[in-house]
A = this chain, B = another copy of it.
Amino acid sequence: MRVIPVAGVEEIGRNMNIIETKDDIIVVDAGFQFVSEESNAPGVNYILPNTQYLEERKDKIRAMIITHGHLDHIGGIPYIMERIGNPPIYTQYLTSLMILKRQEEFPHMEPVDMKVIKEGESFTVGKLKVKTFRVTHSIPDAMGVCVETKHGDVVITGDIKLVHENGVVVVEERGSWEKVGQNKNLILLCDSTNADRDGFSASESKVYETLDKIIRTATGRLIVGTFASQFDRLINIIKTCEETNKKVVLEGRSIKTNIDIAIHAKLLEVKPHTFINASDMGDYPSDRIVILSTGAQGEEFAALMRMATDKHPTITLNERDTVVLSSSIIPGNELAVQKLKDNVYRKNVRVVNYKGSHVHSSGHGNMGELVWIHQTVKPKFLVPVHGHHFHLKSHFYAAIENGFPRTNITVPDNGTIIDIKNGEEMIVQPMKIPTEMVLVDGFTVGSRQEVVLRDRMTLAEDGMFVIIATVNSKTGKLRKSPDIISRGFVYLRENQQLLSEARVLIKRTVEKQTERMNPLDLDIVKEQLTDVVSGFLFQKTHKTPMVIPVLIGL
């Protein structure tokens, strides 16, 4: 029996795990990762798990199981399904709606074969029996997965936290996990996202209490920025608004989409006149208005930033408003959120955020919860997944400090092959599966982009400097002064002197080279020209633009 964390164990995002037996493969989750400024991948849209291993074994793939509907678990689906032979997708109802909604953006794709399962339902794919169990995360219909094998179950938690009161896990939550613990569990792949945090996580019910109080006591308009994927929180806010006779404005496409999905999934029943359009806000006193908005991460074009910068068609912030940022800051977005806060404060609107108030809790459990899960599920082997190496290692340390045998834990990298022999021995194979990054770059989906990305980074730092010269093939002399096209290097109007020196240098370099050349070999000249001009430009400007000579022999 083989387990492979394909991706998501050297980053937060693009989660995918594989369970493989002699005859069958089950894939669990297919996330993508958003690209941040620091990823050294300018222009790239997303990073996908590398599925080459699966593509080579697509006849063995019996199912894609999706634990829940967040993009780090479903985002890769449109790009991956055809490559791996379109296996059926098993998931719960809400998740299925979210997947199908995204597929609408890819109309040329073959329709997915969606198998909607109920909470706790079991099913069989190939020779493998799969049991599912409900878990708590920041989205409904989240589930964990147990796959039965000869020597015991493979348990994959998906993303999880525990519902608890001061560290005591509540009955329903406990029951679900204890039921899993009654199986013979061979190996546990467990969420590590918050494994570096001590104790138990803050509970979402505290967040509801806080938001409830803020909504009830608001004396002006309330703007709540949150993740569109926080279904439960959005639903709760809308319910509180109905109880307090407030009107709700939805701002931002993803929030509107997800509320539609929630209504469709009957997670939410909205009274006829609860939702109003932003353009009708004037019909109500401002303390009866709550705006649910996207953009709490400081996204430049999202509703919240547009409101704060007078770019929103109907909503402008004013002094009597309160903005609640009901979200944490995703690493890499700190400066964008700073800019958002600056803009909101410029409107003399104060911001309530998770640092000063319980308006957000993470969907992932802390160290204490993870250890509780180890001790309840009682697996023989443990593989921390979901997180940077640092999170996985923190998970590892937490486990061994609480008695888990060190040798029964593997901290994997992306693509690490973990074999369990006779249910007794955990073997980490010396070779990994292919792991080159697969990038979504416009319409291109591929792994061969290193050169392209390197060029983009050079261009971003110092720009380019193209030299166009026509050379007389007989004499080797330039036919006229060379043309120079430069972008992103220096401001040319202010650097005419530099340009004319460069032209002289180019002419001299070419003609010196061609003087004793017979026949003319322009490639040699180009190479020399690149070196000479690069050196000259660096000496003059301390910049190293990409120098591209074009020599046309005539």
Contacts and interface: CB of A to CB of B under 8 A. Distances in A.
A552 to B, nearest CB: 7
A448 B345 contact: no
A461 B334 CA distance: 21
Contacts of A515: none
B335 A335 contact: no
Nearest to A454: B488
Given A461-B43, A468-B468, A488-B456, A443 B542 contact: yes
Contacts of A341: 388, 390
A434 interface: no
A550 B483 contact: yes
A11 to B, nearest CB: 9
Classify chain A's interface size: 35 or more
Interface string A517-554: 00000000000000000000000111100101010101
Interface string A225-248: 000000000000000000000000
Contact of A38 (B336, B443, B455): B336
Contacts of A443: 540-542
Contacts of A487: 452, 455-456, 459, 464, 546, 548
Contacts of A483: 550
B442 A459 contact: no
A442 B541 contact: yes
A352 interface: no
A199 B432 CA distance: 52
A463 B334 CA distance: 27
B449 A491 contact: yes
Nearest to A554: B554
Number of copies of this chain that the complex holds: 2
A452 B336 contact: no
A134 interface: no
B332 A491 contact: no
Contacts of A348: 393
Interface string A324-349: 00000001101110100110011010
Interface centre among A36, A336, A460, A546 (most CB of B within 10 A): A460
A451 interface: yes
A126 interface: no
Nearest to A330: B334
A489 interface: yes
A345 B552 contact: no
Contact of A470 (B37, B342, B446, B552): B552
A38 B342 CA distance: 15
A390 B342 contact: yes
Contact of A390 (B38, B345, B461, B488): B345
A444 interface: yes
Interface of A: 10, 36-39, 42-43, 331-332, 334-336, 338, 341-342, 345-346, 348, 350, 388-390, 393-394, 397, 441-444, 446, 448-449, 451-453, 455-464, 466, 468, 470, 483, 485, 487-491, 494, 540-543, 546, 548, 550, 552, 554
19 contacts: A37-B37, A43-B462, A332-B335, A334-B334, A345-B390, A441-B543, A442-B542, A444-B541, A446-B491, A448-B491, A448-B494, A452-B488, A452-B489, A452-B490, A453-B488, A466-B548, A468-B468, A483-B550, A487-B546
